[in-house]
Structure 1
Amino acid sequence: MSVIQLNQRQLKIIDIVKENEPITSESIAASLNVTRATLRSDLAILTMTGILDARPKVGYFYSGVSDLNLVGNNIKDKKAEDIMSMPVIVKQDISIYEVIVNMFLSDVGSIFITDDNENLCGVVSRKDLLKATIGGSDINRIPIGMIMTRTPNVITASKNEEILLVVKKIIEHEVDSLPVVEASDDESKLKIVGRISKTNITKLFLEMLDN
């Protein structure tokens, strides 16, 4: 059994919400003299752990949790490899149309792209594919490598990375999922070994709170 330690800004956010609930994220940011973007990961962690409750068009409420040291099932020992799922991977030379079919058959929000040596070279999201279809181009002829976000601009997680760090990356970079990678013999090349999505994170927190 272990404890999630909240940082000083998260503790201040809780105090502000307690005194002013319901309160919007804009008002919380103004009270702390920071931007809303700065608070995004803090608010996400506080709501995912059940300390705050967020209601659309209303604001944040304090949930009434009396112990701010939330006890979980060894949550601080959880690594990306403990909860990652199988990645959906395609080669960079297949067509945009094939990737669209693959995405919807797999029911994922992002697909990871590899080169001929099976190394990570890019990622595409539903938004990327939607933009490609709107352009009027022949998506049967254009390879996915033409529209993907390329490395090193792809945000990744390592197998032994702490889950809370992975959550922060997903929220701060506003992505659906991250490829879990490990370095090959050439450290500049990354092999995809899994994926961490918002669904993986939600399942973990649900399990933690249930127990």
Structure 2
Amino acid sequence: MRIKELIKDGVISCKTTDPITCAVAKMYMNNVGSVLITDENEKPAGIFTERDLVRVVAEGINLDTPLVKVMSRKLITANASESIVSAAMKMIENNIRHLPVVEENRAIGMISIRDLVRALMTQELAYP
């Protein structure tokens, strides 16, 4: 199975200049654990995750702080044509739970570890 079969329409994102509250509100409204952070040209610049939010709160950082100052900059990505096993290995090797799907330097989706487990379990149940 390929990653393209898992991605849903649209990418939930905020700009690097948006405040932390932008990402938190979008995470809450969309029931997701991460938001892609894009630069002024709509190119992926980083990611803001639940782990980042915990760090922000623990450090007492003002929630009006621009995302560029608190986002995770090490952006591990996948291509839509990659296998879900390849995506799972990237997540395990990098200790991450969310993987932006990028084609031609443009984000086309986001997958989570939950998406991969669900797909792998479905595959296993269908073909034991």
Identity of aligned residues (%): 27
Give the corresponding residue for 1:41: none
Would you say 1:203 and 2:118 are equivalent positions?
yes
The TM-score, its normalising length taken from structure 2, stands at 0.88
Query: Which of these residues, 75, 78, 92, is aligned with residue 154 of structure 1?
Result: 75
Superposition map of 1:70-81 within 5 A: 78-81=1-4
Amino acid at match of 1:202: V
Task: Please name the residue that 1:172 is paired with.
Answer: 93
The amino acid that maps onto 1:197 is S
Amino acid at match of 1:146: K
Alignment correspondent of 2:39: 115
Q: In structure 1, give the amino acid aligned to 2:96.
A: V
Unaligned runs of 5+ in 2: none
For the 8 Å contact 2:13–2:23, the answer to whether it is kept is no
Q: Residue 194 of structure 1: which of 102, 109, 115 is its match? A: 109
- The answer on 1:99 being equivalent to 2:23 is yes
Give the paired residue count: 125
Larger relative contact order (CA 8 Å, sep ≥ 6) = 2
Q: For 2:71 and 2:17, how far apart are their aligned partners in 1? A: 11
1:9-20 superposed matches below 5 A: none
Deviation at 1:179, TM superposition (A): 0.2
* Structure of larger gyration radius: 1
Q: Is the 8 A contact 2:14 2:22 kept in 1?
A: no
